[in-house]
Chain A
């Protein structure tokens, strides 16, 4: 059972480039989340989804877009990367809001 898998694990982008981070879960969870974590900080919510075809903004959504075309996948897109988006990105999923969430191992993104 893989749980939550994030692809890629590491990436270096140049300012202005675009990329998509993929999150896949095999637990049939309805809820999926994207967070970012900056050095010495807690996680901050970027976007989330409560089911296939639905997405919503979190605390820090600017500069990011998301899509949930399939229940098991949640994609995070950066249209024009900026150095301020250098961070570790974590995806999570959960069966509901009354239970714990499962996190992926993170994607370390550097924008130069």
Chain B
């Protein structure tokens, strides 16, 4: 699976959009971009994933650049409860064998009141 690079920490004001970047310059054509978050002491929570098109769900939007070498997770109206470590993960979604998710150190997003 391709390696990802994320900033170790970010701040965002409550009510503003939080934009979390992720670089994955060695991504392959069949690798998806997944985002998870982990609120302190809890299990990771799936947020969103995509291949090449932008994706949106009730939690967030995922913007993937045309060359697929980077992506941005957008939380449109951040709240204090969004303070967490956010993980960007790139992996092949083969639909067959499962090799799990490779978690790096992620970005610690702190929402400021």
Contacts and interface: CB of A to CB of B under 8 A. Distances in A.
B44 A103 contact: yes
A74 interface: no
A50 B105 contact: no
A58 B41 CA distance: 23
Interface string A51-64: 00000101100000
Interface residues of B, number: 29
Interface in A88-112: 90, 92, 94, 96-106
Nearest to B35: A100
Given A90-B44, A100-B34, A101-B46, A41 B105 contact: yes
A22 interface: no
> B interface, by DSSP: helix, strand, loop or mixed?
loop
B103 to A, nearest CB: 3
A97 B98 contact: yes
**Chain A interface size, under 10 / 10 to 19 / 20 to 34 / 35 or more:** 20 to 34
Contacts of A105: 42-43
Given A35-B100, A48-B99, A97 B42 contact: no
A107 B49 CA distance: 27
B43 A90 contact: yes
A87 to B, nearest CB: 13
Contacts of A43: 44, 101, 103
A50 B94 CA distance: 12
B32 A31 contact: no
A82 interface: no
Contact of B43 (A40, A99, A104): A104
Contacts of B98: 31, 33, 48, 50, 56, 94, 97
Interface in A1-43: 4, 31, 33, 35, 40-43
Interface of B: 32, 34, 36, 41-49, 87, 91-106
10 contacts: A4-B43, A40-B105, A44-B103, A48-B100, A50-B97, A58-B99, A59-B100, A94-B98, A97-B92, A98-B32
Interface of A: 4, 31, 33, 35, 40-45, 48, 50, 56, 58-59, 90, 92, 94, 96-106
